Structure 1
Amino acid sequence: MANPRAAAVILLIMSLFMVVAISRAAAARPTEGPNKTTALHHDAHGQDAASPEMSEPKPTCDDDKCEPEPEPPTCDDHCEEPKPEPKPEPEPEPKSELTCNKVHGVQEGETCYCLAQGVGLTLDNFLSFNPNICCDNLFIGQWVCLDATSGC
């Protein structure tokens, strides 16, 4: 029976020989200039033969025939977002000042609605008299206006 280690060593050595042979073949290949290509064709005896063919030289930026490619635009150059033009603020309409004629301290269990109904106001009127009141957070002792008159 064959020794598996010996077989592995032989395969490794053969692989190394193949790598060396391939690299030597690549090094021995003739190098053409940058603008030449090598084409394979058959000679008169049917053998493959390589012949250099001249290709059209590509212009480089060192030649006078070529202009350097423009760089792509950057956001610093032209991509600034336009700033909105300021709109003139409309002048506020003069508000009539309210003068509170009757105040009330909120008692336990009272709501905005029941306070408004108690003095004959709609909820909208009550809230217009008390613009800073939050009906969800009424607290005992908070002062509310139940009657107001306009200063105008």
Structure 2
Amino acid sequence: HYPLNLTMSLLLARTGPQGPTAPGIAANCNKYVLIQEGNSCEAVANQAGVTLDEFYAWNPSLQYSCVNLVIGDSYCVGVS
């Protein structure tokens, strides 16, 4: 796990992903985050205001260790 970086910024988009998405992303996703260097699953979930369990459920291709979080890809952080 990466240390939580409280100064990190997330690029959130409500209209659609800003980068490629992983297979299996939630079909009803309506809020995305573009992963930047230094992001971690825990930090992304916290900054987006969702639980880590929700983040993993909406992005099922992610491993629970978060080792396969890809810089430049968009992940779901909200559903309708």
TM-score over 0.5 for the pair: yes
The residue matched to 1:103 in structure 2 has which SS? strand
1:107 and 2:36 are equivalent in the alignment: yes
| 1:2-41 to 2 correspondences below 5 Å | none
How many residues matched?
53
Determine the structure 1 residue equivalent to 2:23: none
Deviation at 1:108, TM superposition (A): 0.5
TM-score after normalising by structure 1: 0.33
2:73 to 126, 129, 142: 142
Q: Distance in 2 between matches of 1:119 and 1:106?
A: 12
Identity %: 40
Which amino acid in the other structure matches residue 72 of structure 2?
G
| 1:40-79 to 2 correspondences below 5 Å | none
The residue matched to 2:38 in structure 1 has which SS? coil
> What's the C-alpha RMSD, in Å, of the aligned pairs?
1.5
Q: Distance in 2 between matches of 1:98 and 1:142?
A: 16
Q: Distance in 2 between matches of 1:139 and 1:126?
A: 14
The residue matched to 1:137 in structure 2 has which SS? coil
Determine the structure 2 residue equivalent to 1:123: 52
Q: Which structure 1 segments of 5+ residues have no match? A: 1-96
The residue matched to 2:61 in structure 1 has which SS? coil
The residue matched to 1:136 in structure 2 has which SS? coil
Q: Which structure 2 segments of 5+ residues have no match? A: 1-25
Structure with bigger gyration radius:
1
TM-score after normalising by structure 2: 0.59
Q: Distance in 2 between matches of 1:125 and 1:119?
A: 11
Deviation at 1:99, TM superposition (A): 0.5
